[in-house]
Structure 1
Amino acid sequence: MDDLVLNLVDNGAGPSVKKSDGKGIRWTDRVKANRTLKRKHAKVHPVKQITASDETDEAEETPRPNKKARKSVQDATNPAKPSGPSKPTQFISSLFTSNPKVEVSTTQQPARGVVKPSNAPLTDRSTFEGLGLDPLIATHLTSKMNISAPTSIQREALSSLLAASGTELSDRDAFIQSQTGSGKTLSYLLPILQDLLPLSSLSYIERSIGTLAIIVAPTRELAKQISDVAEQLVSMRLRPKGDSMDDSISSTRLTRWLVTGLLIGGENKTHEKARLRKGLPILVSTPGRLLDHLQNTASFNVGKCRWLVLDEADRLMDLGFEETIKGILQGLEGRRKLAIQAVEEEKSLEVGGWDWTRRRRTILCSATIREDVQLLAGTTLVKPIIIKGLDNEVPVGTTPDNETNTPTDKFTPPSQLLQKCVVAPLKLRLVTLVSLLRMLLSQSRSKHGTKIIVFLSCTDSVDFHWNLLGKSSLDGSPTEPKQGNDEDSDASDSNEPKPEPIALISPLLPGASLYRLHGSLPLPTRLASLKGFSASPKSNKISEGTSTILLCTSVASRGLDLPLVRAVVQYDLPTEGGATEYVHRVGRTARAGKGGEAWSFIAPSEKEWIPWIEQRIQQGDEKDEKTTTKSSLVPASMDSVLKGGFGGTGTEFEERATEVQLAFERWVLSDPHHGSLAKKAYQSHMRAYATHPSDEKHIFHIRNLHIGHLAKAFALREAPSNIGNNSIRQKNGSRTVATKGGKDRASNAKTSGSTGKSRPSLSKKMESMGDHDTTAEKRMQDVVRAQGRLSKKGGVMMMSGTSEFHVSGGDELEKLVGQR
């Protein structure tokens, strides 16, 4: 008993209380000290019963044993490895936990069998020469362009547009509608060349005669592509191979006067005016630049124009070019009337007899006959005929008036296209994309490599994924961007900033070069990206790999003929255009009868999109139920895609996918610029997702998205709320600086005025304004798009007051900057 008392009593030095490091005494230590003092002065009973409180006190005084060291994952997997000092770790959420359950349909898909291509050239029905095409053109198509037979739309278009003069179809405009990838470009270029080629035998015909054919395209890339095809056609041999120049009985000699030209925004207008002054018989242009030259270039000779083609008319309407097209038509009519008046008054300096009685033929090309396209056809076409490629559609010679009360025409993908989809949780989207690209690259057996197109929702997302895939690595160190044909890099000044490369090489995608394409890139970069992606590995000086991958927005979904595209991946489903935009995107592959794959990424909350899109892309002849084939999307499980790209046995692909995700996250954290790219891409994607039309909101609604998991898909570790706070803080900071600068400028101006000092010159003021106005081009695009939307709603292309982009005189300009 005394021992028990002595054990509870201190040595006389008082209670021992642990001293904290300058932060005060902990409350647990004070409680222990008070209890010890009470026991010291208490009377001890001879037989003491130990209560639960005493056991607790003793337990509190007993030193707590140390915890058993937890084995790391690496030690558990490798027990033989000696344990050493563990590296500091960071808690990171797992990719394969807290994901919604994804159920993949296990129903047996019907066997496709051998599907006959719906856009392949016709090999048993007709030839180019049989359709009445000039033998020189037909020989050039076969020998130089490897085109041996016409497609269905080309056969129908040539038989209508090449009709002999005096017939019913010889003087009528045309509306061409067909599947994507069926050869619509040649369907109007061949009739134009057939019509202009006989003029080569006339002695007075030369390129100074002016422009005789104009093709209008909605985008610069499509205009450049059409110009390249036209240039290939006019470079044909003008004599049969058996003809000799000295043969007196040879065929009529033809002069080489057909020259093609290209007018697009971003080019030097002075150089374009010089080419127009020399003469461009075949001209390809975008709408805005063509209207500009019609209004301001006096040497633009279009009085004799015979052909006007409006390609991708539905896209022209979407971009708000309705008023621009009306201006183009008025400009062409005005120039023609002036030319005829000059001839009648004998004021024309041109030699030769031109047939002024022949009217201009207009061709409208569109994949769909929508209401706005029908209105455009009604204002631009005279006695039009509808030309469709499929035999089960409206025959040649049908006018649009017969279809005004019919429902919207079905716009179907090629029948040989294999359409697949994968339902991936939001946090697994990024690694699933990498795995799918790796799987498609590994399946390629061609010596020429594989071409893959990946569609994303916005330009910021394209820039982020292009930099992420091309500059990150698994070891955490950023890779140096690689660019082909960089011989002069050592000779250049090291102080000058290096231009951003056109192509990047990703260590995660071996043997592939990454390109990007969107509307905010400079024109030279856009054209170089298209050229590098489309070129073959032997002739490609930009790419270092045999395969190429193009990350792009919807700017690449219309009209572009990118050869040998094996697969199209829709990482982000289209936000506008619905099923039509979907078919345009997947139509970049399986062209001209060739095969291809189309993959679509679908979130768990978007599974209703699969039957929704299948109902809108039915294909086959409905009259014959036996031949009806239902276009369906074949579902693929996410695990099979991950295993096909990362390999391994069992669930090893999960570990490899996690390593890739961590490598991406480390790259984002390694540089503030990388983090800014990721945040901008995340925010822009959210804004784009919110723009889905109202009839699709039951499928695509922002409330259905787990924004934390979506941030993981952009390699972000912080919460989206923090991202929003940072962006708001940055905006507020920039406003504060701008406001402060404005006050300083105002105070300086006031001081200079009071002291009588000379004010800064106009040029310096404009320079100072230009320093702060770094987004003028973007704001100008917004103004143009706003005017386009206004015109579509019936508004007038006119603004009250003075716009900031209004070109004014010197006095008005100085008033704007406060000089007077």
Structure 2
Amino acid sequence: MDDGFILNIVEPSAQSVRRTGKAKGGRWTDSPRPVKKARKVGPTHPSEHERLARPTNTSRPVQVVSSLFTYNPEVEVAEAPALSSVIVKPSNAPLTDKSAFSGLGLDPLIVAHLETKMHISNPTSIQREALPPLLSTSSEDTFDRDVFIQSQTGSGKTLSYLLPILQDLLPFGSLSYIDRSIGTLAIVIVPTRELAKQISDVLEVLLTLRLRPQNEGADDASPSARLTRWLVSGLLIGGENRTHEKSRLRKGLPILVSTPGRLLDHLQNTSSFNVGKCRWLVLDEADRLMELGFEESIKGILQALEGRRKLAVQAVEEGKSAEVGGWNWEKRRRTVLCSATMREDVQHLAGTALVKPILVKATELDKPSDVAGSTGDALTKPDVVLATGEKFTPPSQLSQKYIVAPLKLRLVALIALLRLLLAQSQSRQGTKIIVFLSCTDSVDYHWKLLGTSSIDGSSESPEWSSDDEGEGEGDDSPEDKSKKDVAEKISLSSPLLPQTSIYRLHGSLPLKTRLASLKGFASARTKSKDPNSKTNVFSSSILLCTSVASRGLDLPLVRAVVQYDLPTEGGATEYVHRVGRTARVGRGGEAWAFVSPSEQEWVRWIETRIQDKDTSVSETGRRPSLVPASVESVMRGGFGGKGNGYEERATQVQLAFERWVLKQKENGELARRAFQSHMRAYATHPADEKHIFHVRNLHLGHLAKAFALREAPGHLAQQGAGGNSRKLHNTHNTRNNQTHSASSKSKSKSNPIAPVAKPAWRNSHGDTEHDATAERRMQEVVRRQGRLLKQDGVLVARGTAEFQIGGGYDLERLFPQ
């Protein structure tokens, strides 16, 4: 409707002045406000890590990957002290003086076998001290006494008791009525299956000795000229077929090597097991037997042996025995106990199993008057307990080094170190390296990661690895692939570690796989570089393992031991046992330890426990305990390149691992499970080490990079990524394990001596993992040590949960299942 009004609306021009409110300190102006000058942005230089991780498809969300070499804590590497020019004398080498086995009373047949077949001419220090009291038959006072052998690892304790056993049983071959049906005359008890297999192999080599002198003109009337081959060795370990073992026991096994559980099982259930005439009982690695909770099993074995002997003597006295020939039933069984340490539990075992023991050490043989005593009282007197305060030291010729590596660089630093050690090996000589990890899941993960990942999706080695000699093992023909189907389950190869086989070993593997891994790692495999050349190239091997391989195993020619994860249980003793896998019997070796920046105090802590304060470097020429090495020098030596070129190559390796984790869901689950298991193992450090090893000190996001994860698993990251102690803090709740059922809780309340139930470890799918494995059961026993007491002959709980972390942190709260 037109009502006469005209609206004149004019749009403001760009030149119009826009007036605002009062301008303090300013003035009105008719000029427009100047446009804000655009900020000059210089060219961006993204890190190589971020550039390589940027996806090519821009439609997808960009995932920014943190660089390996940013936001790492500063690490100050102390300068290595100057080493003395004096040559370090090996502490466990065979003696170089005129000492020989013949002068110790060994049979000439055994001495000749050691020199010709086993290439052993001189005894070690512990063998020189242990053989005389074990071989002596002239002094009844010495012969009727048991022996406690204490010596450092790698000193030859195995031959110290096998040679006396062989010499004692060898003369029975001159009797016409003696054969293997006589039963078991010697038993060797060891804590692990791998060690049992190793000792059994050494024993089989010893039993192949010549039974007649090499001199054709020897007197036929001599006892050694009429010996028969009747000595047969046997092996009893868990996982083998019990029916086959019973069949062999029925035929007779004069010398037996066994683990405690399987031996007790046959003593209780196999009636044809003839041990009534047993003359020798050896408890090897007694400290490890105690750690794994075999004390009750050993007591049962001792009682069963005594019971079988009494039944055999009673049958002879009553004329019910069908055996032909006489037997000296008055001669008692002799027991030998071997241990590297003399802890309280080992002394208790010695007081139970040994009769008037003689303490034998590598330096001297204690006088009988110093250790004489009645059964059960020996090794508990003040004049003998002095050995418990001695340092348990590694071999003096061992070179010990450590790397302070930030958490993000751990994985690539490990690869660089392995490449460096392999490249430094002598020309055409294979190298053997042992890598210790904290848990079985971590071993499986790293074994599969190294064996199935590749650079840029190819199986060939990267261009910058061409400096390494040798050729990869992935060039097999189709005909050879079928032959290696089984071998691939035992060993894998990596393009990053050319011409190297990677093995794994832990207690959750099947027995056949464990034995095959040990055999493959220890065997010398050769590969000819030129078919027309007579020169052989020795392939290298790497063993990824848990602490199951730290005791007793004598793996030949191990050049280096790498402790990627420091020991969670056992402290300095476990450390020395681990590094003792190299530098054995006078040979050289290297020991490397990975230390995070928050764990640097561990270096001084371990040095005070393995170093001898009474000696100095200037006097003995002994090297310092642990020598530092910078992570930059290790990575530069392992990856090569000029300047900081190693950073780009390390980034390529890290990205290749991360792509492998993201490639398949199974790989990601394996990586996360390994991360979580590592954290659980880290939380089990004892209370006296909590000031060094504590979950609050770990940056979970950085640690995830060490498992090729681009971020920590969700529930862990929410509970303290970056070391937020307030989120990790947990008040003291009731210390009952959360995995107990309601019935078990009520039972524990009503019955204070009810044993603590074992927790069930479950994966993301809810399936119980490794629940029935020997290693898991052994770990549970170890963790309960110190929190149980003995009541009426039964170990019972003392009101503390199994998984209570020192300092008020509950493992079930930190890492929910």
Q: TM-score, normalised by structure 1?
A: 0.79
Partner of 1:612: 605
Residues 318-717 of structure 1 correspond to what in structure 2 (within 5 A)?
318-391=291-364, 398-399=370-371, 400=379, 401=381, 402-404=383-385, 407-477=388-458, 490=482, 501-538=489-526, 546-619=539-612, 626-627=619-620, 629=622, 631-717=624-710
| Residues 419, 633 of structure 1: 8 Å contact kept | yes
What displacement does 1:482 show? 6.2
Letter in 2 for 1:649: K
2:772 alignment partner, SS class: helix
* CA-to-aligned-CA distance 1:2-44 (integer Å, 9 cap, x gap): xxx999569xxxxxxxxxxxxxxxxxxxxxxxx99x99xxxxx
* CA-to-aligned-CA distance 1:649-671 (integer Å, 9 cap, x gap): 11111111111111111111111
Letter in 2 for 1:695: D
Could you tell which deviates more after superposition, 704-713 or 342-351?
704-713
Equivalent-residue separation in structure 2 for 1:267 and 1:681 (angstroms): 29
Q: Evaluate the alpha carbon distance shift between residue 230 and residue 639 of structure 1 in structure 2; reply closer, same or farther with a 3 A threshold.
A: same
Match of residue 114, structure 2, among 137, 141, 164 = 141
Partner of 1:17: none
2:430 alignment partner, SS class: coil
Equivalent-residue separation in structure 2 for 1:688 and 1:775 (angstroms): 15
Residues 722-733 of structure 1 correspond to what in structure 2 (within 5 A)?
none
| Residues 452, 548 of structure 1: 8 Å contact kept | yes
Equivalent-residue separation in structure 2 for 1:232 and 1:714 (angstroms): 43
Letter in 2 for 1:581: E
Partner of 1:23: none
1:168 alignment partner, SS class: helix
Letter in 2 for 1:169: T
What displacement does 1:202 show? 0.6
Equivalent-residue separation in structure 2 for 1:325 and 1:695 (angstroms): 30
Equivalent-residue separation in structure 2 for 1:87 and 1:653 (angstroms): 33
Q: Evaluate the alpha carbon distance shift between residue 499 and residue 617 of structure 1 in structure 2; reply closer, same or farther with a 3 A threshold.
A: closer
What displacement does 1:235 show? 1.1
Partner of 2:762: none
Partner of 1:284: 257
Letter in 1 for 2:596: A
Equivalent-residue separation in structure 1 for 2:775 and 2:417 (angstroms): 35
Letter in 2 for 1:778: A
Partner of 2:211: 238
2:148 alignment partner, SS class: strand
Partner of 2:772: 778
Unpaired stretches in structure 1, ≥5 consecutive residues:
11-34, 40-47, 78-83, 727-770, 801-820
Could you tell which deviates more after superposition, 773-782 or 559-568?
773-782
Q: Evaluate the alpha carbon distance shift between residue 779 and residue 146 of structure 1 in structure 2; reply closer, same or farther with a 3 A threshold.
A: closer
1:230 alignment partner, SS class: helix
Equivalent-residue separation in structure 2 for 1:65 and 1:793 (angstroms): 73
Match of residue 128, structure 2, among 132, 155, 175 = 155
| Residues 407, 706 of structure 2: 8 Å contact kept | yes
Letter in 1 for 2:122: A
Matching of residue 315 in structure 1 with residue 288 in structure 2: yes
Q: Evaluate the alpha carbon distance shift between residue 397 and residue 712 of structure 1 in structure 2; reply closer, same or farther with a 3 A threshold.
A: farther
Q: Evaluate the alpha carbon distance shift between residue 669 and residue 795 of structure 1 in structure 2; reply closer, same or farther with a 3 A threshold.
A: farther
Partner of 1:818: none
Equivalent-residue separation in structure 1 for 2:475 and 2:271 (angstroms): 43
| Residues 165, 171 of structure 1: 8 Å contact kept | no
Match of residue 122, structure 1, among 95, 98, 104 = 95
Matching of residue 198 in structure 1 with residue 177 in structure 2: no
Letter in 2 for 1:665: E
2:103 alignment partner, SS class: coil
What displacement does 1:720 show? 3.7
Equivalent-residue separation in structure 1 for 2:277 and 2:707 (angstroms): 55
| Residues 428, 537 of structure 2: 8 Å contact kept | no
Match of residue 794, structure 1, among 786, 790, 793 = 790
What displacement does 1:285 show? 0.3
| Residues 476, 667 of structure 1: 8 Å contact kept | no
* CA-to-aligned-CA distance 1:236-274 (integer Å, 9 cap, x gap): 111112237997889531110000000000000000000
Q: CA RMSD, aligned part only?
A: 3.7
Match of residue 224, structure 1, among 184, 197, 201 = 197
Could you tell which deviates more after superposition, 791-800 or 520-529?
791-800
Q: Evaluate the alpha carbon distance shift between residue 124 and residue 367 of structure 1 in structure 2; reply closer, same or farther with a 3 A threshold.
A: same
| Residues 481, 505 of structure 1: 8 Å contact kept | yes
What displacement does 1:794 show? 1.6
Partner of 2:745: none
| Residues 507, 774 of structure 2: 8 Å contact kept | no
* CA-to-aligned-CA distance 1:767-811 (integer Å, 9 cap, x gap): xxxx998658537875676578479732568799xxxxxxxxxxx
Partner of 1:742: none
2:74 alignment partner, SS class: coil
Aligned length: 700
* CA-to-aligned-CA distance 1:49-83 (integer Å, 9 cap, x gap): 5466x656xx89xxx99999867778x99xxxxxx
Equivalent-residue separation in structure 2 for 1:412 and 1:653 (angstroms): 36
* CA-to-aligned-CA distance 1:579-626 (integer Å, 9 cap, x gap): 111100000000010000000111111111111111111248659994
2:389 alignment partner, SS class: coil
Equivalent-residue separation in structure 2 for 1:181 and 1:463 (angstroms): 28
| Residues 537, 546 of structure 1: 8 Å contact kept | yes
Equivalent-residue separation in structure 1 for 2:622 and 2:368 (angstroms): 25
Q: Evaluate the alpha carbon distance shift between residue 68 and residue 698 of structure 1 in structure 2; reply closer, same or farther with a 3 A threshold.
A: closer
Letter in 2 for 1:102: V
| Residues 453, 567 of structure 1: 8 Å contact kept | yes
* CA-to-aligned-CA distance 1:328-382 (integer Å, 9 cap, x gap): 0000000000000000000001011000000000000000000000000000000
Equivalent-residue separation in structure 2 for 1:341 and 1:445 (angstroms): 63
Equivalent-residue separation in structure 2 for 1:781 and 1:73 (angstroms): 44
Partner of 1:173: 146
| Residues 133, 142 of structure 2: 8 Å contact kept | yes
Q: Evaluate the alpha carbon distance shift between residue 224 and residue 387 of structure 1 in structure 2; reply closer, same or farther with a 3 A threshold.
A: same
| Residues 453, 550 of structure 1: 8 Å contact kept | yes
| Residues 88, 620 of structure 2: 8 Å contact kept | no
2:243 alignment partner, SS class: helix
| Residues 512, 547 of structure 1: 8 Å contact kept | yes
